[in-house]
Chain A
Amino acid sequence: MNASVKPQQADQAATPVLKERSHAQAVLHRLLRNKAAVAGGVVVILLVLVALLAPHLAPADPLLQDVPGRFKPPSAAHWLGTDELGRDILSRIIVGSRISLLSSIIAVSISLTVGVVVGLVAGFYAKLDNFLMRLIDIMMAFPGILLAIAIVSALGPGQFNVMIAVGIQVVPTYARITRSQVLSLRSLDYILAARSQGAGDTRIIFKHILPNCLATIIVYTTLNLASAILSASTLSFLGLGAPPPSPEWGGMVSTARQFFLNYPNVAVWPTLAIFVTVLAFNFLGDGLRDALDPRLKDV
């Protein structure tokens, strides 16, 4: 029966199955099939909404003290209980989401701008490559959070300086990734074609190379947001970030640490907020990476 089907008919029958998806559709399809990435994405969207609507969502004033009502366990009046000064923990976490998210977004924006430009220039101009990469090596000579600590110590404690410190700390990641992307793209035929048509360096870099690096940059931005939140909250935990009574999550845990053994409730909620946020960005970033390049799935 099948053998009697004419080749032309067979082609027509196969057409709907073979219909090609665009690259973006294929990426979205793979992303939506990854349950962890979808969950991460949903949590990130919810967090952004909470941060945007914080003043309307917070059930109480995050700075309003009620000392007789301190260290209250979760109740109908205070869903997550109260802290050492009787302030509503839920309200502080909701309003604090603004500080934590905004700090990490600003920090990552700083590193994104500086790192991508350095990476593009280093990858495109071989003469500058060695010099710029040695500068990046110097930045990477400060392990872990040490570079951020050194910068905060120079600029002085405070939330804005924490953002700058965390931003500078992440610059090498962007610079190296962008550079490696540029190096792999630089010698491809389409760049040669653009050049032979008279395109200048700036046009080639921004019109032909940068758009092809964007997918990787987006993945790393998601993952870097996670590490920026971790670094910023760690610096605040050490007392180098926003001073009290600001409801910054890391700072809240830092204060709660003094009463932690008897009243763990006060420290648990802001810690959970940091953990869930970082986990959500990590799940989303990891899912995006797998969706954009399925070969990296096990890396």
Chain B
Amino acid sequence: MSRYVLRRLLLTLPVFFGVSVLVFLILHLSPGDPALMIAGADAPPETIRAVREELGLDRPVYEQYASYVGRVLHGDLGRSVRSKEPVSQLVAATFPKTATLAVAALVIAVLVALPTGIIAAVRRNSWIDNGTRLAAFLGVSMPVFAVGLLLMWVLSYKLRLLPLSGYGGPVWTIKGFKAVILPAVTSASFSIAVLARLTRSSMLDVIGQDFIRTARAKGLAERVVVYKHALRNALLPVITVLGVQFGGLMGGAVVTETIFAWPGMGRLALNAILSRDFPVVQGVVLLVAVMFVGVNLLVDLVYGFVDPRIQYD
């Protein structure tokens, strides 16, 4: 087991290295002089020179990369070239809001998708099954922004049940809870469709296996067969995909946050892209990617413990 954990950890190192190189290159792949882009085309030469020195652009690329990694490892993500605030502070202020949204969306997705997928598989080819499959198709085909705008128009504008947009404070307050519902459901829509389809197909796969036939032949109640024997095994692939979905929710939050004026990392990154504020873009992209790799590592390790069939060598 420890060999499996060690091997999985070692495999993550080149990924972290690659991610850092790619994020570092965001600035250097841009066509034209980054210092000129940041300072503005009509900036005086001394300003451009100052920006170039501030970002270390006057040094060789490998030196810049080494100093970038060194700074990042010390928690220094650089400074916003627009607001001059440290990127780590900007990210720290917005991260909890994006994480709240992602966790809420994941909870909604699991609560809706798992029961739906299970029922669809157990009652295969019934109207529930056909309805679930159709809804899942519609869910993966609908742009997230369309779901958000539709929910906003119906629930906030027409029925006035929920606030139109904005952050309402911590989720445990009534205002905060109400404010998070629409953005979270919007973010969850795609994950619900993916997870429901996966749960259904995974359940169908397990239900067709011999050990389920044996369980039924022993005379166990159908409820026990489905929820004790089948579900436990069917959930294994679902756990893996949950990690991917959580990453997708963190990385894709930019759309939901833009629609609902949610002050998270996604909006921070988008505004930074539009104003060519590279250090902020790099900070957000790096943090989300590293978190995503970390979550997937954790999921794999948990998977290794939960499923003894995983090869440890």
Q: Which residue numbers of A lie inside 8 Å of B, CB to CB?
A: 134-135, 137-138, 141-146, 149-150, 152-157, 226, 230, 233-234, 237-240, 250, 253, 257, 260-261, 264, 267, 271, 274-275, 278-279, 282-283, 286, 298-299
Q: Given A134-B14, A137-B15, A260-B153, is A150 in contact with B145 using a C-beta cutoff of 8 Å?
A: no
- 14 A–B contact pairs at CB < 8 A? A137-B18, A138-B19, A141-B15, A141-B292, A142-B285, A149-B273, A153-B281, A157-B274, A234-B144, A238-B254, A257-B145, A260-B152, A271-B149, A283-B137
State which residues 1-30 of B face A: CB under 8 Å. Answer: 11, 14-15, 18-19, 22-23, 25-27, 29-30
Please tell me which one of the listed residues B31, B143, B254, B292 contacts residue A155 in the complex, with CB atoms under 8 A apart. B31
The distance in angstroms between the C-alpha atoms of A253 and B259, with both chains bound, is 11
The distance in angstroms between the C-alpha atoms of A249 and B269, with both chains bound, is 23
Query: Which B residue's beta carbon lies closest to that of A143?
Result: B247
Q: Are B153 and A264 in contact (CB under 8 A)?
A: yes
Q: Are B146 and A141 in contact (CB under 8 A)?
A: no
Q: Rank and list the top 5 A-B pairs by shortest CB-CB distance, nearest first.
A: A138-B18, A143-B247, A146-B251, A143-B251, A144-B252
Nearest Cβ on chain A to B48's Cβ, whole angstroms:
18
Chain A residues near B181: list those with CB within 8 A: none
Q: Given A138-B18, A142-B285, is A282 in contact with B153 using a C-beta cutoff of 8 Å?
A: no
List 18 other contacts, CB 8 Å, given A271-B145, A282-B141.
A134-B14, A137-B18, A138-B18, A141-B289, A143-B292, A144-B250, A146-B285, A149-B285, A153-B285, A155-B29, A157-B274, A237-B258, A240-B274, A253-B149, A260-B152, A275-B141, A282-B137, A298-B201
Chain B residues with a Cβ closer than 8 Å to the other chain, count: 53
Nearest Cβ on chain A to B306's Cβ, whole angstroms:
22
Query: Which A residue's beta carbon lies closest to that of B259?
Result: A257
Chain B residues near A146: list those with CB within 8 A: 251-252, 285, 288-289
**In the complex, per-residue mask of B263-289: 1 if CB is within 8 Å of any chain A CB, else 0:** 000000110111000100100010011
Chain A residues near B143: list those with CB within 8 A: 230, 233-234, 237, 250, 253, 271, 274-275, 278
Query: Which A residue's beta carbon lies closest to that of B146?
Result: A271
The distance in angstroms between the C-alpha atoms of A146 and B253, with both chains bound, is 9
The distance in angstroms between the C-alpha atoms of A122 and B242, with both chains bound, is 28
